Chains A and B, each alone.
Chain A
Amino acid sequence: MKKLLKNDAFQFLSLSVVITLFIYAVNASRGMIIAQTVYVTFFEVLDIIIAVSIFIGLFQVWVKPATIVKWLGKGSGVKGFIFVCTFPIFMGGSLFTIFPLLKTLREKGARTGAIASFITAWGGKAPLLPLETKFLGWHFALLRLCFVVLFAFVMGLLMDWVGEKSV
């Protein structure tokens, strides 16, 4: 029981149910609006979420962190720079999961700017494109993807500048 209560999935689901029931008790029609929104949106995205989960699962297994470290090298030179501004776009995960990888990269001698570019480019989130295009459209998603590369590039320059200054 204790284990169940500490489970993130259980917490999110029970909190969702409690909120919906509470609103329903206070005002039935508003409660129904919430229930309807959850129901409709859920079935709208279920197949996309399954597909996205498969994409990320495959990527995790076929492209191991060690492989990434090898490809990146020190993230220096034009090749390394292009790599950190583009490749992470295709990775899944949340910030929690990429920090350990970045620490390894840094210990292997990656520059401050390369690490920062990596995080920013990772924000491109190509595996989630099915979701992004569904909810925000192709124009928005593609434009954002282009800007992510520019974003990562500028971020790298700025963070290298910060990294060099010794304060």
Chain B
Amino acid sequence: MRAGHIYLIIALVLLGISFFKEKQKTKEALKATLKIFYTIIPVMVFVFVLMGLIQAYVSRETIASILGQKSGFLGILYAEIVGCIALFMPPAVFPFGGYLHDNGASYGSIAGFVFTAILIGITTLPLEIKFLGKRFTIARNIFTFVLTFFIAALMEFILK
């Protein structure tokens, strides 16, 4: 059985329990689910196109030389920068990260990419400043970038 099917079954069981407990809330949840699904799919397709573009134009050697094990700490830094400017939604981060890994990027680089792609966004900076203040935003983003570097390096050390 495909892993995806197992997740689907778990999701349906949870939906069933939710329906049993409160019908109205479950209806709301289904509405939210549809909305999430419609938001995720187009972004996913776009990211798959990007993956296809890389597949068509960038060689495995190039990816490995920039983000591979041999590029070491620099590779992690590059991956972090890509993560900061990538406009991905979190669900699209993992297929893209997995794709890069299959094509020679190291676990450390992928970890760097995943963390910064989720936690740092050039586009969300203005919003973060608006909601949480300039001082908070600057400090949080710098600390996130630096701590991600150490965690990514540790993960590379453990997983390689």
Contact = CB atoms under 8 A, between A and B. Distances in A.
Contact of A120 (B5, B14, B49, B144): B144
Given A55-B14, A56-B32, A119 B4 contact: no
Contacts of A54: 11-12, 14-15, 29, 33
Interface residues of A, number: 77
Nearest to B95: A135
* Range of interface residues on B (Cβ < 8 Å): 35 or more
Contacts of A71: none
A130 B3 contact: yes
B131 A100 contact: yes
A78 to B, nearest CB: 22
Given A136-B101, A147-B155, A155-B143, A16 B94 contact: no
Q: Residue among B8, B110, B135 with the most chain A CB within 10 A?
A: B8
Contacts, number: 224
Interface of A: 8-13, 15-16, 19-20, 23, 27, 30-31, 33-38, 41-42, 45-58, 60-62, 92, 94-96, 99-100, 102-103, 106, 112, 115-116, 119-120, 123, 125, 128, 130-136, 139-140, 143-144, 147, 150-151, 154-155, 158-159, 162-163, 167
9 contacts: A33-B55, A53-B33, A61-B29, A96-B124, A99-B128, A99-B131, A128-B90, A155-B144, A167-B135
